[in-house]
Structure 1
Amino acid sequence: MRALACLPARGTRALACLLVVLGLAACGAQDPPPPAVPHGYVEGAQETAEPQARLVLADDATGEVHLLDLATGQVGPLGSVSGPVAVTGDGRFAFVSSPTGTHVFDSGGWTVDHGDHVHYYRAAPRHLGQIPGTAVAAAGDATLTALSLSGGTTVMLDRSRLAQGAVAGQPADGPADGMVVPYAEHLVVPVAGRVEVRGRDGAVVTRLGEPCDGPAGQAVTRRGAVIGCEDGALLVTASGAGFTATKIRYRPGSDAPRATAFSHRPGGDALTALAGEQGVWLLDTGARSWKLLRTPPPIAVNTAGAGSPVLVLDSSGVLHGYDPGTGRRVARTALLSEPRPGATIQLDAARAYVNDPAARAVHEIDYADRLRTARTFRLGFTPAHMVETGR
């Protein structure tokens, strides 16, 4: 840059040069613009290349709650709950129920699914606090979690506020018969034998035409939101044209008890449910069909999705794998020596996890390799209740 030719100068020329120099100095003193916020940035969290799968485990005898990191195998304490009776989760937060209320734990691992790509995050796990009521089920999306309580009410929790440690739920707006399900930035709500779609402010957007008497059980899949009904299930889907409902009815002639609670892998398109002592239900939301699999009396069931084996833990502690197409058993392994109430099957895209309270252990199962036990985590406590997070 050439130096300014200001000197020698007098009068107005000197004044003009001085203003130019001061102006240049002022421009040079300005702070540079702040860097753009990277896509996927979450304050207080670290983005990772792999899912941060964890298990939240509650000991019903001592009340201690622990976190098992499935990547490292490390176990650490999360807190304590007086008399835990159940645990449920929304993918990040675990809700441990007790007679005096529901305790909320941040597992510190979660996934944000944008449809065409996903983000994985980790943060410090912690005990956030307690809310009144006993939670029996949770359903959530990236911004909102609906927590169903044993009295039939639903509490709505803002996930961003939960992440900041603020545990304050608000009752769902408007009447509801059963679980309120966050889906497609709206709320799917069964009420008076029908299902409504409401905005996040509680205002009714549309009333779906298909009836749904006796709603019980809910899930969100890639195909849409599912509400269990007396005669089958209602699949609610969103598109540019709005919301539509499809009834998937049970096959005629079935005498098995209906599905009242669903289990599935998050993001999967197949749901499972217990069918009393007769077996288990398999609901394929892609094929829009139910199938009853005849099994020994089951205590837990789950599946990774359409085409994956249906995993059934029976009352004698044997884990079975069933072909979802033929309904035939393709594998079995004696897993639990003393099965107890609360045993569950949690699974992700590659592994299944079964808690074994009597052995004070959790078994990791490779369900694609004839139910091979890949790892057994030996614990210093009783994992009576379990939920997987980070998915």
Structure 2
Amino acid sequence: MRQHITTTALALVVGLTACSTEQAPTIPADEVPAEGHGAIADAAELAEPRLGLTTIDPTGSISHLDLLDESVSDLGTIGAPEAMSTDGRYLFAGTDAGIEIVDSGVWTWDHVDHFHYYRAEPRLLGTVEGAGDATVATSNQSTSGGTGLYFPDSGDAVLLDTAALSKGEISESFRLQNPPGDGMVVPVGSFALVTDGVGPSRTVVGHTSDGKRTGLVESCPDAAGTITTRVGTVIGCFDGALLASATGDELTVEKIPYPTDVSAPPATSFDNREGRPTVAGLAGDQGIWLLDTRQRSWTLLPAPTRLTHVSAVDDSDDHLLGLSADGRVFVLDGADGSVVAETGALVAASQAAGETPTLIADQQRAYLSAPTERKLYEIDYADDARVSRTFETASEPAFTAETGR
């Protein structure tokens, strides 16, 4: 059984404590594998993941909390953030300048049957220019493939070289000019899918990594929301979802339609424990959509109350996590939507103030940010939703990412 950890008060003050000084051998540049293991020069390979919570406050100050030794470090300052996305290593923060990229310096490489864990020096990588609240689409690998950015005000569709990011460089594989409006650039292996058109006539178009069209065009009316699973990359559509995958030089896309005997609003965003095949999204106020990408099937579950976010843990007990509008975290049964456990109203003040708490699930714990309350919670969802640790923060954690996963 896991040992219960007493509540800890921890001030996330700039420069309070340096990161752990644990030493691990670095990998010389001429010994780094070309691909397949996620290693880069000057990175230490570790025996276990070095998980942390990396936060950005409203002024752009970035702090990193090491969840192993509870040390805190200051990673620097960017512009005032308006939004943030992450792939578990990089933070892509939307500011007035565009997308500012932060490398947390910790990551996991998923090699299907095993994992590799790394740590390098964290750093601010710079800015990708563009206008508007950009949509960011990532893969589950932080040293290969691409990262997609779509700037709605300028219509710029950008694919970044993620391998270059891992070396501290921002390199655009392509930048396409589209009419202003919302859209997505979704990386799929060495390819990318770019939305085209508007509303019911919207399609996704296949592109190579240098921006050339592949000839693949798939209907995806009202395209919204994307996530990468172990099976493939999901793009939400009004009539279902596209599941895309790449094998060598071949890009394939298949449609997973919503069930014809169920009427509920489509999911417009998805979340899960990273890499797992099942993803969850809200069906408006009518319940929870579960998409099993292995079975190519949808399930509509009831919600216990009004929820603002859901995530599929997809563990052996098929747990789901839900954040309620009144600030509670629910652990739900993925088979029927019944309540397994729930917390108290941990982020009631944040929800009432219109803030956006972040709820993240990993294999062992869930993490919940409380911007107004200035706290970060660690929740053992398999143990009656017990709050195992609470970290008090000196400033508002406006945006939070679990990094190192």
Deviation at 1:181, TM superposition (A): 1.8
Cα distance in 2 for partners of 1:202, 1:319 equals 42
Cα distance in 2 for partners of 1:221, 1:194 equals 21
Match 1:70 to one of 67, 72, 81: 67
Cα distance in 2 for partners of 1:299, 1:251 equals 23
> Residue 219 of structure 1 aligns with which residue?
227
> Residue 24 of structure 2 aligns with which residue?
none
Cα distance in 2 for partners of 1:351, 1:359 equals 20
Cα distance in 1 for partners of 2:95, 2:176 equals 25
Cα distance in 2 for partners of 1:352, 1:106 equals 22
> Residue 23 of structure 1 aligns with which residue?
none
> Residue 291 of structure 2 aligns with which residue?
283
Distance change in 2, residues 1:155/1:245 (3 Å): closer
Cα distance in 1 for partners of 2:369, 2:309 equals 11
What per-residue deviation string (whole Å, max 9, x for no partner) do you get for residues 53-82 of structure 1? 22221212x332211222222222222234
Counterpart code for 1:215: A
Q: Report the number of matched residues.
A: 356
Higher relative contact order (CA 8 A, sep 6+): 2
Cα distance in 1 for partners of 2:213, 2:99 equals 29
Cα distance in 2 for partners of 1:236, 1:161 equals 24
Q: Does 1:336 align with 2:347?
A: yes
> Residue 194 of structure 2 aligns with which residue?
189
> Residue 135 of structure 2 aligns with which residue?
136
Cα distance in 2 for partners of 1:101, 1:203 equals 25
Q: Greater shift after overlay, 34-43 or 195-204?
A: 34-43
Which 5+ residue runs of structure 1 have no aligned equivalent?
1-33
Question: Any conservation in 2 of the 1:95–1:105 contact (CA below 8 Å)?
Answer: yes
Cα distance in 2 for partners of 1:174, 1:278 equals 37
Question: Any conservation in 1 of the 2:320–2:334 contact (CA below 8 Å)?
Answer: yes
> Residue 31 of structure 2 aligns with which residue?
37
Larger Rg over CA atoms: 1
Question: Any conservation in 1 of the 2:32–2:41 contact (CA below 8 Å)?
Answer: no
Match 1:318 to one of 318, 321, 328: 328
Query: In structure 1, the residue corresponding to 2:163 is in which secondary structure?
Result: helix
Question: Any conservation in 2 of the 1:276–1:297 contact (CA below 8 Å)?
Answer: no
Report 1:254-269 matches (<5 A). 254-269=262-277
> Residue 208 of structure 2 aligns with which residue?
199
Cα distance in 1 for partners of 2:360, 2:340 equals 20
Question: Any conservation in 2 of the 1:95–1:135 contact (CA below 8 Å)?
Answer: no
Give me the TM-score of the superposition, normalised by structure 1.
Answer: 0.82
Counterpart code for 2:45: E
Give me the TM-score of the superposition, normalised by structure 2.
Answer: 0.80
Distance change in 2, residues 1:204/1:123 (3 Å): same
Q: Does 1:299 align with 2:308?
A: yes
Deviation at 1:387, TM superposition (A): 1.7
Question: Any conservation in 2 of the 1:217–1:228 contact (CA below 8 Å)?
Answer: yes
Q: Does 1:358 align with 2:372?
A: yes
What per-residue deviation string (whole Å, max 9, x for no partner) do you get for residues 161-189 of structure 1? 32343335454458698222222322233
Cα distance in 2 for partners of 1:130, 1:35 equals 26
Question: Any conservation in 1 of the 2:51–2:404 contact (CA below 8 Å)?
Answer: yes
Distance change in 2, residues 1:51/1:309 (3 Å): same
Deviation at 1:47, TM superposition (A): 0.8
Cα distance in 1 for partners of 2:189, 2:174 equals 20
Query: In structure 2, the residue corresponding to 1:161 is in which secondary structure?
Result: helix
Q: Does 1:390 align with 2:396?
A: no
Counterpart code for 1:37: E
Query: In structure 2, the residue corresponding to 1:213 is in which secondary structure?
Result: coil
Question: Any conservation in 2 of the 1:337–1:358 contact (CA below 8 Å)?
Answer: no
> Residue 27 of structure 1 aligns with which residue?
none
Distance change in 2, residues 1:219/1:84 (3 Å): same
Query: In structure 2, the residue corresponding to 1:382 is in which secondary structure?
Result: coil
> Residue 167 of structure 1 aligns with which residue?
170
Match 2:391 to one of 377, 385, 389: 377
> Residue 16 of structure 2 aligns with which residue?
none
Cα distance in 2 for partners of 1:329, 1:298 equals 13
> Residue 157 of structure 2 aligns with which residue?
154
Cα distance in 2 for partners of 1:219, 1:301 equals 14
Counterpart code for 1:147: L
Cα distance in 2 for partners of 1:183, 1:364 equals 32
